[in-house]
Amino acid sequence: MEDMGAHWEGFSDPHSTVSHFLVKVGTCPGCEDTVAEFDTGASTDVVFHHIMFAEGVRYYVTVTACNMAGLCSSATSDGVILDESPPVPGSVMDGTQDRDSQYQASRTFLGCKWHGFQDTESGLDHYEWQVGTTPGDNDILSSQHAALKEVAFLTLNESQMLPIGNKMYITVTAFNRAGVFTTSTSNGFIIDNSAPEVVKTPAIVEGQGVLGCHDADQSVHCEGQLGGEGRGVFHREAVHLNLLSSARGV
Ligand SMILES: [Ca+2]
Ligand SMILES: [Ca+2]
């Protein structure tokens, strides 16, 4: 960063007019270790050319106003940090569970979680998130402001129902305090609101049906001798519940 400007106002003297201003820049309030104090005349704007301001360092501008009588008073800015580098990208998960989801049943819920964005120079200011049918797009949900929490969600109304079978991607943009941003996109999710299909309805005949079920990878795996017609293997919870109901004669 080579150029930085400063502007000031509000200096007044009830007894005589301000004759000139003195300006200096430093890395602490009132310091001049970056730009030695110089006279700007009556100008209340100044641009520092060809000064190598370092990233991530807070610079303070001190302005001193002097009147005709040679009396001066000073004021120092609260500082400015230069940051030209975007935040480090993070990773975005579809859905608000602890793990990224690939499928979602609801057509009116949009949500995501993210982590890993950071900016060591100026820090993060806020996030924005959007949803599209291609990575980085926003044709499903336009950009929404998100505070410095690593989760965002909203409920759509019935007229905005999410499409079935189209992969959708969530993009999160992290802004640093200098307004420089970086984006990361999820690997996508698909709406699947249909129940699993039962290819062959299991039948339990008294004395012949045996069912054993166990949990495998969040889906339930049932296996057994069904109605004397051979072994069947069924996946997914809905089938599992139906099978158990049948097995218990409910
Ligand atoms: Ca930065
Ligand atoms: Ca996903």
In angstroms, what CA-CA distances link 95 with 125, 131, 163, 235? 23, 12, 16, 23
CB 74 within 8 A of CB 62: yes
Q: How far is the CA of 72 from the centre of ligand 1 (A)?
A: 38
Q: Hey, is 143 helix, strand or coil?
A: strand
What pLDDT, on a 0 to 100 scale, did the predictor assign at position 205?
55
Q: How far is the CA of 204 from the centre of ligand 2 (A)?
A: 38
**CATH, range 4-81:** 2.60.40
Range of lowest pLDDT (51-65, 208-222, 230-244): 230-244
Q: Would you kindly state where each structural domain of the chain is located, as residue ranges?
A: 4-81, 91-191, 195-250
Q: How far is the CA of 118 from the centre of ligand 1 (A)?
A: 8
Average pLDDT over residues 95-119: 96
How far is Cα 169 from Cα 130, in angstroms, rounded to an integer? 8
Average pLDDT over residues 45-55: 87
What is this structure's pTM? 0.66
Q: How far is the CA of 147 from the centre of ligand 2 (A)?
A: 22
Mean pLDDT of the chain: 83
Question: Does the pLDDT value for residue 203 go beyond 70?
Answer: no
Q: Which ligand is nearest to the CA of 99?
A: 2
Percent of the chain with pLDDT over 70: 78
Q: How far is the CA of 188 from the centre of ligand 2 (A)?
A: 4
pLDDT-based confidence at 113, cuts 50/70/90?
A: very high
CB 169 within 8 A of CB 136: yes
Retrieve residue 59's tokens. 């610079």
What pLDDT, on a 0 to 100 scale, did the predictor assign at position 201?
62
**CATH, range 91-191:** 2.60.40.10
Q: Which ligand is nearest to the CA of 92?
A: 2
